[in-house]
């Protein structure tokens, strides 16, 4: 499903067009085996485990987990609140509440990342180990363009179906062979037998349309 083959090459290029550096940078990144190093990892486990994450070297990560923190006064002293809101609470309670909030936020971000992974899995781009995973912004932009492209393809298909239906009706009444009918499915478009440009697809040519693909 999420295969490059499902999208014509030119369409794919146009998909990437609005991306700019971010997208190309992501694709470019895949050179060596280490290109996908950090990005080849599975989505974060549901139950967060700092030791299982590649980026556990992050200093802030040391505070993750719900009970692992040996309270570091230099990092989060109760006095950090200059509004005085938390001053009245016991430091342990404050700390516990903070950790709980942090854990929730972490979970929320992991869910968001899981959703992004799901999105990446259904949009067409090279899912090869040698290609770096799309960044978040690139994923969103590519998905948007992909949706727009699919909508356009759907519309094109609808028009073609309408055109074919009409052609069938006319040919059954032996007016003209299909493709040479003087009647076109769109008002005001009396198309000659070999049109310069297919008016069925104003946005351009279509691989679905005989007029567009046939060379005179």
Q: Can you read off the two tokens belonging to residue 24?
A: 């190309």
Binding-site string for DNA from residue 126 to residue 165, where x marks contact by CB under 7 A and - marks none: -------xxxxxx---------------------------
Minimum CB–partner distance for residue 190 and DNA (Å): 50
Q: Is 146 exposed, middle or buried (0-12, 13-18, 19+ CB in 10 A)?
A: buried
Q: Is 119 exposed, middle or buried (0-12, 13-18, 19+ CB in 10 A)?
A: middle
Stretch that binds DNA, among 7-15, 92-100, 187-195, 207-215 (CB under 7 A): 92-100
Calculate ∠ Cα 110-115-120, nearest 5°. Answer: 120
Does 106 interact with DNA (rule: CB under 7 A)? yes
Does 174 interact with DNA (rule: CB under 7 A)? no
Q: Which whole-number Å values give the CA distances from 191 to 98, 164, 213, in the listed order?
A: 70, 15, 16
Number of neighbouring beta carbons within 10 Å of residue 142: 25
Minimum CB–partner distance for residue 86 and DNA (Å): 8
Does 102 interact with DNA (rule: CB under 7 A)? yes
Task: Give contact residues for DNA (rule: CB under 7 A).
Answer: 21-22, 25-26, 28-29, 31-32, 34-35, 37-38, 44, 48, 50, 53, 55, 57-61, 63-64, 75-76, 80-81, 83, 85, 98-106, 108-110, 113, 133-138
């Amino acid at each position: 499903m999420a295969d490059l083959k499902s999208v014509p090459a030119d369409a794919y290029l146009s998909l990437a067009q609005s991306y700019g550096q971010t997208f190309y940078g992501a694709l470019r990144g895949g050179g060596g085996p280490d290109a996908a190093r950090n990005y080849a990892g599975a989505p974060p486990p549901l139950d967060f485990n700092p030791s299982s994450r590649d980026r556990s070297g992050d200093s802030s990560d040391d505070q993750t987990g719900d009970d692992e923190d040996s309270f570091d006064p230099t990092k989060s002293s109760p006095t950090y609140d200059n509004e005085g809101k938390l001053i009245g609470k016991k430091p342990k309670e404050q700390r516990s509440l903070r950790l709980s909030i942090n854990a929730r936020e972490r979970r929320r971000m992991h869910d968001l990342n899981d959703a992004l992974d799901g999105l990446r899995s259904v949009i067409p781009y090279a899912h090869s180990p040698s290609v770096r995973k799309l960044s978040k912004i690139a994923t969103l932009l590519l998905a948007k363009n992909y949706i727009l492209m699919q909508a356009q393809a759907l519309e094109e298909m609808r028009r073609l179906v309408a055109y074919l239906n009409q052609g069938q009706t006319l040919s059954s009444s032996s007016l003209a062979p299909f493709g040479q009918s003087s009647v076109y499915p769109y008002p005001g478009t009396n198309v000659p037998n070999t049109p310069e440009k297919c008016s069925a697809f104003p946005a351009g040519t279509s691989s679905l349309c005989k007029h567009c693909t046939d060379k005179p």
